[in-house]
A and B are shown apart, each in its own frame.
Chain A
Amino acid sequence: MEPFMRKKTVALLCSVFIAAVAVAGLVGPEAAGGSQGAAPAGTGRSDLILIDALSALAPLEEAKVAFLHDKHTEALAKGKDWAQKGCLTCHPQEKDGTMGLAFKKPVGADKAAARDVFHDGCISCHKSMAAAGEKTGPTGAACRDCHKKDPGVADARQDVVVDRNLHYRHVKAYEKDDKKCGVCHHRWDEKAGKTVPAVKETEVPGACAYCHLDKPVVQKGVKPEIIRSGRQAAHGECVSCHYKRATEPGSKIESPYTCGGCHDAASQAKAAEKSKKAAAEAGDAVRMKRGQPDAALVAGSVPFKAGAKNLPIGVVPFNHKAHEGKVATCQACHHGSLDSCSASCHTVAGSKKGGWVTLEQAFHKRDAERSCVGCHAKAQQAPGCVGCHGIMNNGKSLEGKSACAPCHKAVDGPLPAGIEEAPARQAMAAALLKARTAPAALTDDDIPEKVTIKVISDKYEPSEFPHRKIVRAMLERIKDDPMASAFHNGQYTVCASCHHNSPAAKYPPSCASCHAAADTGAKAGRPALKAAYHGQCMGCHTKMGIEGKVYSSAPGAKAVPANTQCEGCHKVRAGQAVKQ
């Protein structure tokens, strides 16, 4: 590339980027040099923009200007020009009619000119307002009026997630529009040589972020040559549309167009509440229908072939519909595109495109956010689950084949005819999911009421352990959790959290059969009985966050003993206590 060309490209990129910084208010703190924790709590603002547009051209000579965008929108909205010009008071208009994100005009390669855009733009406006006797900002008397080292406000901007519920509200608003999905979603049309609205659901390429990445994508020889960054796309499209809809004569639509309207935690919570309500009323209509099945048979390294027998790891029927309701967006799993995971990225042996994450790891990587196991492990950190799962070895309740069984279902007999085709696979998956039955509930007979722990009682009296009460409390907590129901697939599975490392059974071996009464140190390889008991009880209480707190809702219920409150579980034996 010739230097001139490179310069031009850089300048273009810079201007685009700077424009985003100057107006979007979406830029992360590291990119925009956002203030972090500079101000005391409660003074955080979601509209703080630190103007550093010139930093792309030369090192900054002055401190970045802390610009409060909403404050300016508010002030300008009172002006007489606003009704006519709106956002265009400050922002340029792009060719496609959307709002440009630069201030006045994109920053070019000339530093002095770029600086003057800001100085003239800001100061002239302030001056004219001051001349008119209006309250306004600094009029350029001193540099430090604007270029302050400490902006005095903290950045409290929240990222925007268009979740399933919020998406549904938009769907509903435009269900009668000709463009339907295409109001927001577009696709590149090779023939037309431009982006065209993706009218039908199945035409939608997927989430915006699949194409609009953190930074603008510049591709040579491939159209479109420049794909706007996520920030540019979101602000250009969303804000333009929101502003238009909100300011239409007689509009009753609440479509936020200020920074705080979308990025403020409080306004997000309010919107989420509203979306949730709308989604609840909609029922299944809330689903983003893009041709996905309700149930799918997940493909592994063993291809589905009619007549195949004794599949080594069985088949995994996947309840796609149920999972849709558990995540905010499709991206929770389909993070790069809506194509099959294994098609070109997470192939059986892995590929460069997929970061060499193999298909097996894409499903099972425990510390990944988007793998099945990773997401489930995260779910196990919920207060109701973490008591048991948190004290297990790395959250693993089971080892070996029994750990695979809840997902990998063994298939009796050969795979049916037509299994190579999607409908047959989906039918088989649905049948397998339907055939899944909840294990028999534990009866009082299964759960001893009290267990007296006395094997090692020495300085303390034996502990009267309210076994049944605790088991019932645990079961109560997870009774409505479909994931717990699906995975606690044996009658005694839940017993295994305390009675671990032995097959779940009605009469598990006593703790003392594995944990010696005396501490013999490291060579024992496992905790002695005292530590085993305390580890299980305290570990669970601590993980669940109920230690020292009243957990039961029953009237007059006592607090769960704090870890350091020995007498909460066992009385001090007379004359035996540790010297105090």
Chain B
Amino acid sequence: MQRRTFLKLIGSAGLGAALPAATAKAAGNKAFTGYPDAMGVLFDATKCIGCRKCEAACNEVNELPKPEKPFDDLSVMNAKRRTDAKTYTVVNKFVPVDGRPPVFAKTQCNHCQEPACASACFVKAFTKTPEGAVVYDASVCVGCRYCMVACPFSVPAYEYDEPLTPRVMKCTMCHPRILEGKLPGCVEICPKQALLFGKRSDLIKTAWERIGNEPGRYLPHVYGEKEMGGTNWLYISGAPFQQIGMREDLGNTPAPELTSGALAAVPVVVGLWPVLLTGIYAVSKRKDRVAKEEREAAVAEAVTAAKEKAAAKLADELKKAEAAGKRLADAEARKAVEAYKQELEEKAKAAAAAADESGDESADEKKE
């Protein structure tokens, strides 16, 4: 890999980690509007009579331990209760207006469309099923109980008295029964059909139809239609939801959306950190190596250059020397030649002189 390419990649990944919201939205499930055929339950507080049959049926179908007080003891409703590891659902009694009949409200997992528990779980022990239920897989759970902290409805409970294999316990919307084509236990037993099972989309329609038909009976609010991004358990009531123990301060933003920014950065950081560090290490290592190589090469080059320079100089010197030598030799030769020439000329002059003396002789001789 080219260093430039690598740095480019690291840079873009770093940007991804720095701006998680933008990228997480594109990559995450923020636009998730729920599984289209997801089922749900509509609880009608104006129909509930507080018989606790749903609690009994829930206990039976989920094979939960027998409670301290029997389910036909309605006095337990005099105090507000909440779900626990042995109770997936409770019905509480409220008296919103003194002197008017009580209003009952059932509590259980609301099966959020985008569950907070699932978003908080880092081992994916919670799954939002296409049927609408949010189900739990004890086999992967590490017992961190982040789900319990995350749930805005305080629903998941923990088996604190289970020393070896404690689980998180909560309503499953009777998911196994739904898959079998049966109704959830509580829905099936309800004598008033205060719990209506059906497609979430149908339930919302039914809820608004009821509100529209009897505006005096209901408040114009389907709880769970929008709360926390929507839940698959829906509620309608004649009393304000706050007065029947339900939170109205939750807002309509799904829990994962509140945390997806920060959480989406986690895999990036966790996944990228080793790569990043290794990369940085590799880069610095390579840098050292390259520097070393470069240095060595430079040295070698310098040495070679020096050598070459020396050799060249030598050669040059030699050449020069040679040339000088040659020049010297030439000069000497020329001198010698000159000297010789001069000697010869002198000799010739002498000869000529001699010839002059006897020149005629030589001329004669030449002529001869």
Contact = CB atoms under 8 A, between A and B. Distances in A.
Asked if A and B are interacting partners, one says yes
Interface of A: 367, 393-394, 519, 521-523, 525, 527-528, 530-531, 534-535, 538, 542, 563-564, 566, 578-580
Contact of A564 (B60, B74, B202): B74
Interface stretch (B7-15, B44-52, B125-133, B257-265): B44-52
A566 to B, nearest CB: 8
A579 B51 CA distance: 13
B196 A521 contact: yes
A531 B197 CA distance: 13
Contacts of A527: 193
A578 B198 CA distance: 24
Given A521-B197, A523-B198, A531 B72 contact: no
B192 A522 contact: no
A61 B68 CA distance: 60
Contact of B72 (A530, A534, A563, A580): A580
A525 B197 CA distance: 11
A395 to B, nearest CB: 9
A564 B101 CA distance: 14
| A531, A535, A580: most-surrounded residue (chain B CB, <10 A) | A580
B312 to A, nearest CB: 99
Given A564-B49, A578-B53, A578-B60, A528 B193 contact: yes
Contact of B47 (A367, A519, A525, A535): A535
Contacts of B187: 519, 521
Contacts of B57: 578
A528 B70 CA distance: 28
17 contacts: A394-B215, A521-B187, A521-B198, A522-B197, A522-B198, A522-B203, A522-B206, A523-B198, A523-B202, A530-B191, A531-B47, A538-B49, A538-B192, A564-B49, A564-B74, A578-B71, A579-B59
Contacts of A521: 183, 187, 196-198, 202
Given A393-B214, A531-B191, A563-B51, A522 B56 contact: no
A261 B199 CA distance: 62
Given A394-B214, A579-B60, A534 B202 contact: no
B173 interface: no
| B190, B191, B197: most-surrounded residue (chain A CB, <10 A) | B191
For the complex of A and B, 8 pairs with smallest distance between CB atoms: A522-B198, A531-B193, A521-B198, A563-B49, A521-B197, A522-B202, A564-B51, A580-B70
Given A393-B213, A528-B193, A566-B191, 12 more contacts: A367-B216, A519-B188, A519-B193, A519-B197, A521-B183, A523-B198, A530-B191, A531-B190, A564-B52, A578-B71, A579-B60, A580-B56
A228 B215 CA distance: 39
A537 B51 CA distance: 15
A521 B183 CA distance: 8
A527 B193 CA distance: 7
B318 to A, nearest CB: 108
A366 to B, nearest CB: 9
B135 interface: no
Interface in B1-56: 42, 47, 49-53, 56
| A367, A523, A535, A578: most-surrounded residue (chain B CB, <10 A) | A578
B189 interface: yes
A456 to B, nearest CB: 11
A525 B49 CA distance: 21
Interface in B170-212: 183, 187-193, 196-199, 202-203, 205-206
B206 to A, nearest CB: 5
A579 B205 CA distance: 34
A314 to B, nearest CB: 28
B136 to A, nearest CB: 24
B74 A522 contact: no
B234 to A, nearest CB: 10
Nearest to A460: B191
A514 to B, nearest CB: 14
B109 to A, nearest CB: 19
Contact of A530 (B60, B101, B193, B216): B193
B197 A534 contact: no
A522 B213 CA distance: 16
A388 to B, nearest CB: 15
A519 B183 contact: yes
A528 B56 CA distance: 21
A313 B51 CA distance: 48
Contacts of A578: 53, 56-57, 60, 71, 189
Nearest to B52: A564
Contacts of B202: 521-523
Nearest to B57: A578
Nearest to B49: A563
A531 B203 CA distance: 17
Nearest to A535: B192
A283 to B, nearest CB: 38
B191 A534 contact: yes
B196 A534 contact: no
Nearest to A543: B101
Contacts of A394: 213-216
Contacts of A534: 191-192
Contacts of B70: 580
Nearest to B199: A522
Contacts of B190: 531
A519 B181 CA distance: 12
Nearest to B205: A522
A371 to B, nearest CB: 15
A579 B183 contact: no
A528 B195 CA distance: 12
Contacts of A522: 42, 196-199, 202-203, 205-206
A95 to B, nearest CB: 49
A66 B198 CA distance: 59
Contacts of B215: 394
Contacts of A525: 206
